[in-house]
Amino acid sequence: MFTLQYVRELRELGMQPGADEIVGMKVQGVTPRICQGAASHRNQSDVDEIVGMKVQGVTAEYVRTLQSAGFKNLSCDDVIGAKVMGINSEFIEKSAQAWIPGI
């Protein structure tokens, strides 16, 4: 069960989730810290995006990896899709090495 502290921490992050969203977040293991990490990706991620990222194993570190590789303006759906497809730093590095300019 969630606590008032959990709700308070979400509100301190500027989130105003409804009761159903709070329950969904808690069931999926979404913590205020995860929400804070999602905010580092975008100014405002909605609850469904945050839950989706959590369910697929997207972390703030994963997002930073994509951003440092030059993918700075990805939507949450793009980030989730990349994670689901197994795109990681090794894949990005090997793809960059295989890139042939002018093709």
- Residue 75 in contact with residue 97, Cβ under 8 Å? no
User: In this structure, which amino acid lies at residue 40?
Assistant: S
- Residue 62 in contact with residue 83, Cβ under 8 Å? yes
Domain boundaries, the chain: 4-98
User: In this structure, which amino acid lies at residue 6?
Assistant: Y
**Is residue 71 left, alpha or beta, with left meaning phi > 0 and alpha meaning psi from -120 to 50?**
beta
Measured CA to CA, the distance from residue 71 to residue 83 in angstroms comes to 13
pLDDT in tens, the chain (103 residues): 568 999 999 999 888 899 999 999 999 999 988 888 776 666 556 889 899 999 999 988 898 888 888 888 888 899 999 999 999 888 888 888 887 665 4
pTM: 0.75
